[in-house]
């Protein structure tokens, strides 16, 4: 079967070989490859004049219904992301946009109670849905349950920010997270990431302000505590220039300062390993400073963090 444009009845892409239920639910193996697809090929406005055609089209290709309203700000953030993904996925699904305010009867039949509401329809039935303006990364993960991601998919904004941080370009990462926090003000993970980028940029006071404005449950959670720990460790640690000035020194003080700098930079594993090594070689240094700092890092990362679990075990083995 071919993917049929519900507006014209014409085929949009190459035929899909299988028409069984698994194919209609867009398993990765059956995702069509339509080549260069135009925006108008895969995105349509849904209303009473074409709802039946769209449902019929879902017998051949999944349809992603974006239920939105003109007054809904989150909808305005979500729609461009869905449109970009529809084109990027090159015909693996059709994106049908429903203005619930202009089409209250259809939205009622679909069970839409709040917007944005995104529904994946296949074989005329509901496969899955999500509510709210999810960030692009989470939408890609959601789509990944049903569709094979395009081989040439561009990096998400989150991935771009992470790569910028790894490359030492904290300013670019900060700008990306500022945009994301503006678009998704209730996605608090972005605010924590923004604070982390601010720390990397040397703007700890601003990072503190961002973290202080989080809801209490987010402010006290492990990710935020980790950023606060980076700020604290950064205030305690020597600067990178001072670390470089240590040269070849390998005494306990030099080892501790290098470990503290790694922790302050967010390179927790290297820092934890160095602190553990210092405990082995000079347990008495700084009134047991290495062990105390290990415990501070564990608290910052949270009890369930993989590094906390692994290094608590190593610490226990060393002590007992």
pLDDT, position 10: 47
pLDDT, position 126: 92
Q: Residue 39 CB: number of other CB atoms within 10 A?
A: 11
Domains and CATH numbers, the chain: 21-143 (3.40.30.10), 157-220 (1.25.40), 236-319 (1.25.40)
Residue with tokens 């135009």: 38
Which residue ranges of the chain lie beneath pLDDT 70?
1-36
Active site residue 67: no
Strands 63-68 and 117-122: antiparallel
pLDDT, position 21: 33
Active-site residue, from 75, 173, 199, 279: 75
Active-site residue, from 72, 110, 161, 263: 72
Range list of H helices, the chain: 21-24, 39-42, 51-57, 73-88, 104-109, 136-143, 157-166, 170-183, 188-200, 204-212, 216-219, 222-236, 240-245, 252-264, 268-281, 289-301, 306-319
pLDDT, position 26: 37
Both tokens of residue 279?
A: 């405990």
pTM of whole model > 0.75?
no
pLDDT, tens digit, 9 for 90 and up, residues 256-298: 999 999 998 888 999 999 999 999 999 999 999 999 999 989 9
pLDDT, position 39: 86
pLDDT, position 88: 92
pLDDT, position 40: 86
pLDDT, position 18: 33
pLDDT, position 101: 95
Nearest residue to 75 via CA among 49, 50, 107: 107
pLDDT, position 317: 93
pLDDT, position 120: 96
Active site residue 75: yes
């Amino acid at each position: 079967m071919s993917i049929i444009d519900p507006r014209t009845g014409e085929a949009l892409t190459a035929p899909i070989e299988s028409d069984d239920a698994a194919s209609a639910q867009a398993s990765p193996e059956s995702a069509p490859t339509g080549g260069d697809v135009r925006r108008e090929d895969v995105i349509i406005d849904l209303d009473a004049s074409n709802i039946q055609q769209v449902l019929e089209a879902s017998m051949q290709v999944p349809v992603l219904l974006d239920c939105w309203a003109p007054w809904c700000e989150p909808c305005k953030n979500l729609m461009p992301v869905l449109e970009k993904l529809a084109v990027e996925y090159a015909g693996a699904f059709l994106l049908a946009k429903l203005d619930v305010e202009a089409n209250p009867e259809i939205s009622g039949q679909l069970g839409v109670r709040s917007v944005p509401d995104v529904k994946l329809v296949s074989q005329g039935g509901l496969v899955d849905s999500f509510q709210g303006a999810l960030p692009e990364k989470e939408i890609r993960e959601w789509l990944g349950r049903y569709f094979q991601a395009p081989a040439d998919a561009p990096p998400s904004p989150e991935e771009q920010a992470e790569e910028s941080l790894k490359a030492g370009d904290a300013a670019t990462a900060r700008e990306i997270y500022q945009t994301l926090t503006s678009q998704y003000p209730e996605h608090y993970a972005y605010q924590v990431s923004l604070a982390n980028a601010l720390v990397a940029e040397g703007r700890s006071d601003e990072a503190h302000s961002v973290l202080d404005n989080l809801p209490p449950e987010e402010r006290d959670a492990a990710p935020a505590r980790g950023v606060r720990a980076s700020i604290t460790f950064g205030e305690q640690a020597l600067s990178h220039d001072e670390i470089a000035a240590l040269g070849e020194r390998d005494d306990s003080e030099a080892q501790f300062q290098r470990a503290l700098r790694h922790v302050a930079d967010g390179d927790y594993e290297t820092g934890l390993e160095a602190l553990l090594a210092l405990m082995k070689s000079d347990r008495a240094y700084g009134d047991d400073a290495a062990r105390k700092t290990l415990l501070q890092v564990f608290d910052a990362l949270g009890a369930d963090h993989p590094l906390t679990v692994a290094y608590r075990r190593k610490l226990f083995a060393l002590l007992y």
